[in-house]
Amino acid sequence: MKLTIQHQEYYSRGELILRSLFGAIYIAFPHLFLLIFVSIWGAILQFIAWWIVLFTGKYPQSFFEFQVGLLQWNLRLNARLMNLSDGYPAFGINASDEYTSLEVPYPENISRGLLLLRAFFGLIYVLIPHGFILYFRTLWGLILSFLAFWAVLFTGKYPESWHTFNVETLRWSTRVSLYMGFMDDQYPPFSGKE
């Protein structure tokens, strides 16, 4: 899995102010409204894919691409809402983006044993330990985002280490999503590094 959000040399202060004041209306609302329906469809496909994987050991490729497209859409949106990227995020699961990218290799086979293990015990051995750390990491990320707002406002630059930290949080949580969504058999590392 490869997730990147480009660290820009300069960030637009105008866009920063616009996003901060009206982002909920012109970015979050229209995207989230559509994402609700697309996510319901994604959940239905995932449920059906679970049975398909159980019986065939393979994740249907078009279902897989849909789920990756959905994750890419979420990434584009999060990058803007967290001020990690400028520009307006594109709508749709097939859209591309200038600043963000997410590549997930299609697995030829998915372990059925792991599939069952994740379904029955995923909460215990994946979601609780990762969720616990990610919760505090996200809190710290929010503080950094708040500080970065002022840094961008006065200097036009997003401190690179803060940017990296927030991107790593997103990468980490995406890995957990991929593992729990049985799109990857590799247990997610307790790190957001590439």
Partner 1 sequence: MTDTSEKYYPIEQVEDISMRDREDAMGAYLMMFAALAAGLPLPILNLIAAVIYYYVNKGKSRFVKFHALQSLYSQIPTTLMNAGLVFWTFRIIFNEGSFRSSDVFMEGFATVSELYWGYLWVVVAANLLYVIFSLVGATKARKGRFYYFLFFGKLAYHFAYRKEESSDAPVLNEPPK
Question: Residues in the site for partner 1, rule: CB under 8 A?
Answer: 40-41, 43-48, 51-52, 56, 58, 60-63
CB of 59 or CB of 172, closer to partner 1: 59
Residue 57 C-beta: closest distance to partner 1, Å: 12
Residue 78 C-beta: closest distance to partner 1, Å: 25
CB of 60 or CB of 107, closer to partner 1: 60
Which residues contact residue 82 at a Cβ distance below 8 angstroms, ignoring those fewer than 6 apart?
Answer: 141, 145, 166
Residue 47 C-beta: closest distance to partner 1, Å: 3
Residue 95 C-beta: closest distance to partner 1, Å: 16
CB of 45 or CB of 178, closer to partner 1: 45
The torsion of the CA quartet 156, 160, 163, 164, rounded to 10 degrees, works out to 170
Q: Do 167 and 83 form a contact (C-beta atoms < 8 A)?
A: no
Which residues contact residue 53 at a Cβ distance below 8 angstroms, ignoring those fewer than 6 apart?
Answer: 59, 110, 112, 115, 182
